[in-house]
Structure 1
Amino acid sequence: MRAIPAILIIILLLSACHATPEHQGDDRRETSSLSRKAWEMHHRGEPAEKFIAMQIKAVEQMRQGLTDDNPVEVLEQLGFFYNYIGDYPSALRYYREAIDSLQSIPLNMRNEGAIQLFGDLSSLYSVVGIMDKAIEYSDSAIVESNRQNGRMLADVYRFRAGIFQANDMIPEALECYDLAMKAVESRNTVASKDKLKAIISSEKAGLLIETCKGNSDTIDNAVKAIEASLKYDDMDDAYRNFSLGLGYIKQGKLQQGLKLLTESEASFREQGDAEMLYFTDCELMDLYARHAQYEKMAQLYPSFIEATDSFRNDEKDRALIGAMIKYDLQASEDRNKILDLKLDIERDRSIIAYIITGALIIILVSCIVIFYQRNKLQRQKRIMQEHELSWLNERVGVLEKDLSAGMNSNTTILSSPQLITGNSEGKFRRAFNVLYPGFIPTLKKDHPQLSTNDELLCMLLYLHHTTDEISVYLGITRASVNTARYRLRSKLGLAKEVDLDEFITSVKTQKQPDGDLNAPK
């Protein structure tokens, strides 16, 4: 079973936690009319550019002092909108401004906007792969929630579970879901407690269905938990159908599972959720292949390729953004060190000035001696501090070069061909057999002595791949490829005047689907 990509888990929880019953009974969104309208537009599913433009106006009004809004809530909401659409640098900029505003608010006057801000930051850092910062802000959210008598604590633990789940820390994620459930039970003021418990149980059940292997009781209980949440119509049907479909398949209810997966695939396509569409297409392709539904597999294949390309591009973008954010964090820390050093210098200067003034009052001679000694010490300190400043500036330059080299390396790796080994070989064979169903059976019928490696070489030759390409795909040298070709000629019993490539491409196959669009080049 593939692991759901980190961005999907975090964004799904991020959206859900802003709309759970624990939110809906309080003053979370009692801000300006513009900010409130922006939230309502987002909740109705209107285009992102519209509610973001509305929220930007709310921020401008707040900065001009035209409203009495809490700046933390207004800035956090704009950061959330940018986080929601994947513009992480913009989201981080407004989150940081909200953090700066939060510092000026006394602890006893903070509301749940502070909790939400810490939760959003933990989610953002998890998405871009900065786990230590994600946990740091998640800890801050828990502390802030406990300071406010457990307000939003269930949501905070759901955020935290998503972070652990995205990093394959399954036991920790399950523990967080249990803590979220306890948080709901411990509070009597949570609106729609049963619904929130159903949401948490459904999310935990989805994780168990994804990760559990061989325990039918666990799968059965997880399926029941999701089925119990069906009575709440305002939950995410697409993702819930996806989890429930996987559960049915693990229970052996293939047709029910395929039906739900197909429905969720259509929903994700309609929503434009390319990443979840990719994940659903992967599951469907595997199921079609395992159950020999090659016609459906061929129909889904173009969508699968498109979703795969989109998902990989998004992953690449997130990796680059994460690298830039890491660099920005390191550069900020270095700048703070430089500022601290400058403050130390100024502080030392002030101390020396006071000493000199006091010494002059006591005795002129002593003042001259002390002045000389202190100036000498000051020069030595300044030299050392200037050396340290120079070293820090060089360090910033090295970090910039390392970042540039890392980006180039990532691009090179993502653009290079991948080896056809293990699981990828199985997928390659299934795809080949769908496009050219008669090739291997015909070849094996005439030449039963061929090994699986020989078959793979024949398929690559049939597709007109060059020796260099074959060496990359098989992970062997050109010389090894030529040796393999020679052995293959011997097994096929070809005469010297018969060209191996022409012989392979002359093997007859059955009629290919869709008008033979995928014939050998």
Structure 2
Amino acid sequence: MKLIFFLLLYASCFSSCTSRLSPKDTEIKALSDSLKVRCNDRIMQTDSLRIEAENFMAHTQPGTPEYFLARQYYINSYFNEKNFPRVLEMLDETERMPGYKDLPATQANYLYTRSRCYQFMQQYDKAIAISRQIMDLVPTPGDTLAHEGIRTRAVGAMNNVNNIFYFTNRTDQGAEWFHRLRTNPPALLDECCRRDMMIFEGYLRGLAGQKERAEAVMDSAHALPVYRKTAENTFRDCSFAASVYYALPHRKDDMERLLKHAISEGRKDRYIPGINWAMSLLGNIYSRQNRFQEAVQLQYQGLEIGLRLQDNVFCARCYHELSNLYYKWGMYPQAQYYIDKVFAWQENTNTNLKDKGAYHLTKWSIVQKLPGYRREERLKLLATADSCFLLSEIKQTAQTHFYKAIDRIMILPYESAKGLEDIERYYGSNTSTASDYNVEALRAIALFRLGRDAEARKTILAIKKYNSTDSYHFLDTLMSHYIHREDNAVIAHLTRLREPLLQVYLEQKTREAVVEADIRYQTEQKEKENRLLSAEVELKSSRLQTFIFTGLFLLAIGVGIGGWLWMRLRLKEREKLFSQQQLHEQSQRLQQLIASRQELNNRNEELLRQLVDIQATHDKTCDLEHVMESLQPCLLTNREEEQFRTAFASLYPTVLHSLRSICPRITRTEELFCMLIVLKQNNEEISRTLGITRSSVLKNRYRLRTKLGLPEGCDLDSEVRALLLPE
């Protein structure tokens, strides 16, 4: 009985303490809110929690409620790492700080953390004593926040005490402890926690086998009003009451109603430990009442919750219950399918030893009914289950040992001596258990396998009643042996034992066959629906993949085209930059050439003036006319002129072609004149560049105006540039 309540007793998570931060200090309030969110997270980030707590403490004054709140979060970071000695050391330091004794709500939080440390360190008596101190705290009158904080911690402390008494197998002592507490309760508990105390007392009395007192206490507890209703508290009250009513046949309707209500409340919260146990227990009720579809549907709902929460342990337990349901109704391939699912899920999670042993025991039961498994494989499953149970330090039920004995007797004949030893050890001193599980029949089989025929025959004849239809095949095994030996006395005795069970056995098999046929029909219909849904899902998945691949292909093409255009643009920019650099260099060369020609022309003019002066002073003393004539010609040589034309053509490639098209009879000198106009040279600069006088420049302008057909009074430079330069 006690094992079905194991999942109800998970340790409760830390809840954040009520903060008294000043609403004016927005920075401290923001830090506090951040810490509350992180500390309430079930997967708390220890490092970040510690860093934020240190930051919070740096912004608060020591001795204030805010400072103790931040220090509590800081200590919780070490608690998450299970560094309990360090936590206790820091708690001792905190209790010596000034202002600590003046804050009862803060004391409740720190005492709760201390009790949890002692509980994890298995110092259970200290944990219970510290929990009792929490319940004795008195809040400051009028301080509603402190009142609620102490009440919350007191309820959590009672839950921890309940867990301690359960895990140490002292349920009767625990029931008396809670009875004394509610008989003489502290003021706070008497005001708002009387229902909670009675719930825990009734639950422990039910585990201790005190059925009538447990029922009376639980009924009285549920008659009291709820102080503060939450989904978690409602689930606890309903599930604990259902566990008490489980042993009372006349309360089966109440049990089913309470379990349904507990499951309904459990779904409202993000996660409540024990909801999978409640679903399993309700599923067992459905199964006993032949409501197979409802039992299976309930476990599928549990699977949905487990998948939504991404809880592998939850999912594995739901698959385990499905496997047990199919095994019970003789659908062994389906049972094997779901137990294989269990083993696949438990590989990805940290399964506790108790659950792991139950999974191996269930698989062993299933492979008993299926061909293809060797004896060594079956023994390995049973040995693994046995090891898990022993290491888990959980007291085993008689049925578990009974199955182990059956395996060693029926499956492994060469270990029959060990099987007989187990029977004598587990059942020899327990008459009621031996009667329930027909141990004498097992003893007879073991003695027969060991060759101790006389003892086996005596044991069989001593059996007065055989009351197990589930193990009907044991009698068949003994019957076949003694029919072969023609022992009529034993055969007659076994026949008398079988007759009362035969009709029940046949009815049970018939009922199982009908249910199995109905289940198979329903299963086929569901499989058809699943195949249709799978086909639809595959079609949608195929379409989605097509859309994705098409989108990726178009995206790749777009990226390629964009990259190509970008490369072309970069190439054009580089070509343009290179052309601009070339034009700039050519323009500089032209300017340098013009400047050099103008400088040379200035020197020539200066020499001519000097020669004129010399000739006037020394008349007929020397012949200077020839020298002066040699300085008069154009300063541009043919080579320099070609260089000038080449450089100009690179800058203005269409000018000369346009000029010759407009005026075919233009001379080379006039072309040079037009090129200098295009380069924005004035008359003075043109005369110095070409080495001619200003009057010659004006004459050339007149002739050029005539050849180009320009009217009088217009600006020659502007017209030439307008004609020759493109817009």
For normalisation by structure 1, the TM-score amounts to 0.51
Cα distance in 2 for residues equivalent to 1:58 and 1:67? 13
Q: CA–CA distance in 1 between the matches of 2:251 and 2:461?
A: 30
1:94, distance to aligned residue in structure 2 (A): 0.7
- Whether 2:378 is the aligned partner of 1:173: answer yes
Partner of 2:503: 306
**Is the alpha carbon distance of 1:349 and 1:42 closer, same or farther for their aligned partners in structure 2, counting shifts above 3 Å?**
same
Q: Distance in 2 between matches of 1:234 and 1:191?
A: 22
Structure 2 letter corresponding to 1:117 = C
The reply to whether residue 128 of structure 1 matches residue 331 of structure 2 is yes
The answer to whether structure 1 residue 254 and structure 2 residue 472 are counterparts is no
Alignment partner of 1:25 is 2:227: no
Q: Is the 8 A contact 1:275 1:307 kept in 2?
A: no
Spell out the pairing of 1:324-403 with structure 2 (5 A cutoff).
Answer: 324=521, 326-327=523-524, 328-329=526-527, 331-345=529-543, 348=546
Q: CA deviation at 1:55?
A: 2.2
- Contact 2:238/2:261 (CA < 8 Å) preserved in 1? yes
Aligned-pair distance for 1:283?
A: 5.2
Specify whether residues 243 and 86 from structure 1 end up closer, same or farther in structure 2 by C-alpha distance, changes over 3 A only: farther
> Which residue in 2 is equivalent to 1:206?
406
Deviation track 1:79-137 (CA, whole Å, cap 9, x = no partner) reads 23334555332221111110110012244xx66x5543232223234441225513422
Say whether 1:117 aligns with 2:321: no
The 1:134–1:69 alpha-carbon spacing in structure 2 relative to 1, beyond 3 Å, is closer
- For residues 315-364 of structure 1, give each alpha carbon's deviation from its aligned partner in whole angstroms, at most 9, with x where no partner exists: 4135314523642245324412312313443665687799999999x99x
Q: 1:296 to 1:199 in 2, by over 3 A?
A: closer
CA deviations on 1:353-392 (whole Å, 9 max, x unpaired) are 99999999x99xxxxxxxxxxxxxxxxxxxxxxxxxxxxx
The amino acid across from 1:167 in the alignment is L
What is the identity, as a one-letter code, of the residue corresponding to 2:342? S
Task: Call closer, same or farther: CA 1:299–1:341 in 2, change over 3 Å.
Answer: same
Task: Tell me which of 257, 278, 291 is aligned to 2:487.
Answer: 291
Superposed CA deviations along residues 3-24 of structure 1, whole A, max 9, x for unmatched, are: xxxxxxxxxxxx9974899997
Equivalent position SS for 1:89:
helix
Structure with the bigger RCO (C-alpha within 8 Å, sep 6+) is 1
- The answer for unaligned runs of 5 or more in structure 2 is 10-165, 169-199, 208-231, 562-727
Does 1:92 pair with 2:296? yes
Q: 2:356 aligns with which of 153, 163, 182?
A: 153
Report if aligned partners of 2:5, 2:277 keep a CA contact under 8 Å in 1.
no
Cross-structure match for 2:514: 317
Question: Alpha carbons of 1:63 and 1:101: their partners in 2 closer, same or farther (altered >3 Å)?
Answer: closer
- Residue 49 of structure 1 and its aligned partner are, at CA, apart by 5.3
1:22-61 correspondence to structure 2 within 5 Å: 25=167, 31-43=235-247, 51-61=255-265
Given residue 529 of structure 2, which amino acid in structure 1 is its aligned partner? A
Q: String of CA shifts for 1:416-468, please: whole Å, max 9, x gaps.
A: xxxxxxxxxxxxxxxxxxxxxxxxxxxxxxxxxxxxxxxxxxxxxxxxxxxxx
Shift of 1:52: 3.2
CA distance in 2: counterparts of 1:50 and 1:249, whole angstroms? 48
Residues 121 and 301 of structure 1, relative CA distance in 2, 3 Å threshold: closer
Once the two structures are TM-superposed, the CA of residue 222 in structure 1 deviates from its matched residue by: 0.9
Quick one: structure 1 residues 208 and 314, their matched pair in 2 at CA, closer, same or farther if it must change by over 3 Å? farther
Normalised by the size of structure 2, how large is the TM-score?
0.38
Amino acid at match of 2:281: Q
Paired with 1:121 and 1:247, the residues of 2 have a C-alpha distance of 33
Is 1:163 the counterpart of 2:359 in the alignment? no
Three-state SS of the structure 2 residue aligned to 1:220 is helix
Q: 1:150 to 1:74 in 2, by over 3 A?
A: same
Is contact 1:177-1:200 (8 Å) kept? Answer: no
Change (3 A) 1:20 1:105: closer
> Which residue matches 2:443?
244
**Does structure 2 retain, via aligned residues, the 8 Å contact 1:128–1:321?**
no
Equivalences, count: 329
CA spacing shift, 1:284–1:38, aligned 2, 3 Å: farther
Deviation track 1:390-430 (CA, whole Å, cap 9, x = no partner) reads xxxxxxxxxxxxxxxxxxxxxxxxxxxxxxxxxxxxxxxxx
Counterparts in 2 of 1:302 and 1:47: CA distance versus 1, 3 Å: farther
Q: Tell me, what secondary structure is at the counterpart of 1:104?
A: helix
Partner in structure 2 of residue 74 of structure 1: 278
**8 A contact 1:75–1:94 mirrored in 2:** yes
Local SS of the residue matching 1:210: helix
1:104 is the counterpart of 2:308: yes
Displacement after TM superposition at 1:38 (Å): 2.5
In structure 2, C-alpha distance between the alignment counterparts of 1:324 and 1:236, rounded to whole Å: 40
Residue of structure 2 equivalent to 1:426: none
Does the Cα contact within 8 Å between 1:118 and 1:137 map onto a contact in 2? yes
CA deviations on 1:133-182 (whole Å, 9 max, x unpaired) are 134223146426x5145452222221222122232534322111111233
Secondary structure in 2 matching 1:122 = helix
Go from structure 1 to structure 2 and tell me whether the alpha carbon gap of 1:114 and 1:351 turns closer, same or farther (over 3 Å shift): closer
- What is the SS of the residue equivalent to 2:246? helix
Distance 1:355 1:139, change over 3 A: closer
Q: How does 1:181-192 map to 2 (within 5 A)?
A: 181-187=386-392, 190-192=393-395
Aligned to 2:309, the other structure's residue is in SS state coil
Between structure 1 and structure 2, the one with the greater Rg is: 2
Q: Using the alignment, how far apart are the partners of 1:61 and 1:72 within structure 2?
A: 13
Q: Which of 398, 417, 427 is the equivalent residue of 1:220?
A: 417
User: What CA deviation, in whole Å up to 9, does each residue of 1:218-256 have, x standing for no partner?
Assistant: 322211111111256886752251433432444422355
Is 1:75–1:98's contact at 8 Å kept on the other side of the alignment? yes
Q: Quick one: distance in 2 between partners of 1:359 and 1:52?
A: 64
Distance 2:307 2:271 in 1: 20
CA contact (8 A) 1:37 1:54 kept: yes
What letter matches 2:245 in structure 1?
Answer: M
